[in-house]
Amino acid sequence: MKILIVEDEEHLAEGLRFNLEAENFEAEIAADGETALKRLEETSFDAVVLDVMLPLIDGFEVAGTMRAAENYTPVLMLTARSRPEDVLKGFEAGADDYLPKPFELSIFLARLKGLLRRREWHRKESQPERFADVVSVNGKTIDFDNLELRDGDEIVHLTLMEAKLLRFLIENEGKAVSRKTILEDVWDLHEDTDTRAIDNFIVRLRKHLEVEPNSPKILQTVRGIGYRFVK
C-alpha cells in the first residue's frame, strides 16, 4: 500500500517513512500542502498522513480540498493542536482520524492500519448482530461497510465521522439524542467542546437524506436537546 506523508518537519517525515517502509508500505513525502495536493492529483494513494501546520496550504485546507474534489482517500491528521475544537475542525474538513503530537510509533502504526481497515472503524464491536451494514432510508441505501450513500446511480461518500453519527442516530430511532451524548459516546470527545459543532454534520447529512433539507422529516431537531432519527 502507498502512503503519502505530508509533513514539513524533515526529521519526523523521514522517520515515519523509514518505519512505514519497514512495515512493507511504500511511502512518499510532501513537505507542504501545495505539493501534497499536486501529488494527490497525479497519483493514487491508499492513505494520507497529514500534518496541520504546513507551509503554503495548511492541513485543514488540504483535507477540505481533497473532499471537495471527491477524493476520499483515508486521512490521518497529525498535529500539536489537540484542543477538542481543533479535532472537530479536522473532522469537519474531512479527516478520518486525528493523532496529536507527540505520539508513540506503535500508536501511529495501529491508527494507520486501522484506518486502512475502514469497515472495522464503524462496526459496533459490542453488539455486531444488532445492526445491518446496509440500511435503506427514504428510498436511499446507506452502505456503512463502504461509507457510501446510494440514490439510484448516484453515490455519495460519507466521512467516517458522518457515518458514525448517522449510524448512532439510526440505532436510536425515535429517541432524542443529545449533542453531548454524540460527542462523548460516538466521537469520544470530552472537555469543553462546543456541542453546536455537531450541527454542521447534521446539515450535510440532511442534504443527502432529506427531500427538503430545510424542512427535515428524517433527521429532526429536538429543541434544547439535540436530534432524533425518524425513518
Same domain? For 175 and 86 the reply is no
**Is residue 213, in this structure, part of any structural domain at all?**
yes
Average pLDDT over residues 28-42: 96
Question: pLDDT by residue (tens digit) across 82-114?
Answer: 676 777 788 888 888 888 888 899 989 988 987
Q: What is the mean pLDDT of the chain?
A: 85
CATH number at residue 170: 1.10.10.10
Which pLDDT does position 123 carry in this prediction?
Answer: 41
pTM value surpassing 0.85: no
Number of domains comprising the chain: 2
Share of the chain above pLDDT 70, in %: 88
Domain that holds residue 191: 128-229
| Whether residue 188 sits in one domain with residue 159 | yes
| 74 confidence band (pLDDT: 50, 70, 90) | confident
Q: Which of 59, 93, 116 is the last residue of a domain?
A: 116
Q: Are residues 149 and 102 in the same domain?
A: no
Which pLDDT belongs to residue 89?
A: 81
Residue ranges of alpha helices (H) inside the chain are 10-22, 33-42, 59-68, 84-93, 105-116, 118-121, 160-171, 179-181, 198-209
Condensed to tens digits (0 to 9), the pLDDT of residues 112-127 reads 987 787 544 444 443 4
Which H or E run contains 97? strand 97-100
The reply to whether 121 falls in a domain is no
Dist. CA 138–CA 207, nearest whole Å: 13
**Given the C-alpha cell 440500511, which residue does it identify?**
135
Last residue of a domain, one of 87, 116, 145: 116
- Tell me the CATH number at 104: 3.40.50.2300
